[in-house]
Structure 1
């Protein structure tokens, strides 16, 4: 399941690049959040361990607030930045920048959860950063440099997802139901997107902006992102966090394979990519077991 999750995320990245040429609105960001909302709702109704009544208690309200903030960070800031970064620098480089999520999670976990990293965790973070920097440096073999705004957006996306993970973890301390937490976060994002877009563009134009991008590539992206989240959730029930995290690094390889065999939408340096990915996998392993 962890391998299938990595493949789903890799497919989503390539689909984002493919769909940007036909995008008329948000390139399917809102669609992906709606699919996440539906999928997490089905997961909670079928396998959830906590009822909605629990959220009415004082502790439940605090957990709801954490889940809502996590949804704001991941589904609004994180996902939009991920889409725009992938459009600008490609699926492989954007996927590699996502390997920095556990690194950004270290200061967030310290501030929100009072978790102090040990030397293995710090070393793992340094190795992940080294691998990302090694590949992301402008290369003489590429015809043009990476757009700096794309790299910045990729970093912001990783930081937003890291913050979301820590906020969700804080909520799970009192309401231990990940599906319910994801459902709350996705609901907040859907409401925010609808209101913000319609205030900015007007009701009619705003609705068109949110719903105009519905090509097969947009549906592939939305379904792949949701499938990746659900598969990771189930994988954690059957295997260790370390295994899931390390196999998650293979997302970059799946993206690279799709780029080379199918889309050919970006230039790649395979030898550098494999070495950078090895660094990322090793660093991620140290981060998890630390």
Structure 2
């Protein structure tokens, strides 16, 4: 399969995850499978590293590996703990489509972080793309295709999730410069996330909340999120970042279509989504061109 095909599959997988988070919430008794999703990500990334890893295990015991491992741990806490948890809560409150569109803000937040941590100064085209993505979000907020339900906090959680993921991407990029293995970096980050979540749950006496949600929708969400990461991994091996990021923006449309099929959302909302989602696609393409 081509890189473009893998990029489309990644967007479809992430779109599916957004919808299944909502389905899983109906039967959730704990964290709605957040911890399960992190555990599955750790298992899948570990398998990728063992099968196709570029960094040997022996290299991790060298002094030069200490800093990148620490960076991957920090990246994992931002993505697996803060980013994923807020993404789940935002999806539950404002729906998968709105949360998917808010995730388009991740590269926008990554711009200033890239300047601070990586000394990457964006050009005029990149800045224009960021403005278009912000405009797309504002357009959608002004004419949402699904009810807000008074959950204003969900919008802030979605924005926060994008910011947390942007921070994790900036950190992970710095770690990959020193230890170039994306699967290993994801494994370390997911492992750190699991340890943090377990420790916090033990301190509060709420370990059961991490383990109780193991229904079909929770498992499907976990594997969909992991599949999205795998497909992106392979897409970037044979397609440009521009193509992968642009096709990834189609996640918003996939989420809306799957919402109609699995959640019974009205199809009329799809028409109101076309303008903001289209603007977001163009803005994303400009940012990574």
Query: Which interval holds the TM-score relative to the shorter structure?
Result: over 0.9
Q: Offset of 1:138 from its aligned partner?
A: 5.2
Counterpart in the other structure of 2:264:
264
Q: Offset of 1:132 from its aligned partner?
A: 1.1
Counterpart in the other structure of 1:157:
161
Counterpart in the other structure of 1:274:
274
Q: TM-score, normalised by structure 1?
A: 0.94
Does the alignment pair 1:137 with 2:145?
no
Native 8 Å contact 1:95 1:251 kept in 2? yes
2:98 and 2:268 map into 1 onto residues whose CA distance is 9
Counterpart in the other structure of 1:77:
82
1:87 and 1:144 map into 2 onto residues whose CA distance is 11
Q: Offset of 1:145 from its aligned partner?
A: 5.3
Counterpart in the other structure of 1:246:
246
Distance 1:143 1:37, change over 3 A: closer
Does the alignment pair 1:30 with 2:52?
no
Paired residue secondary structure (2:178): coil
Q: Offset of 1:185 from its aligned partner?
A: 0.2
**How is 1:1-290 mapped onto 2 (pairs within 5 angstroms)?**
1-137=6-142, 147-201=151-205, 206-265=206-265, 269-289=269-289
Distance 1:106 1:146, change over 3 A: farther
Q: Offset of 1:43 from its aligned partner?
A: 0.2
Q: Offset of 1:262 from its aligned partner?
A: 2.6
- Kindly report structure 1 stretches of 4+ aligned residues shifted beyond 4 Å: 141-146, 265-268
Structure 1, residues 14-72: CA drift from partner, whole Å, max 9, x if none? 00011111110100000000000000000000000001222333331110011000000
Q: TM-score, normalised by structure 2?
A: 0.94
Native 8 Å contact 2:71 2:171 kept in 1? yes
Q: CA RMSD in A?
A: 1.6
Q: Which moved more, 1:234-243 or 1:54-63?
A: 54-63
Structure 2 unmatched ranges of 5 or more: 1-5
Native 8 Å contact 1:138 1:146 kept in 2? no
Distance 1:64 1:142, change over 3 A: closer
1:193 and 1:244 map into 2 onto residues whose CA distance is 31
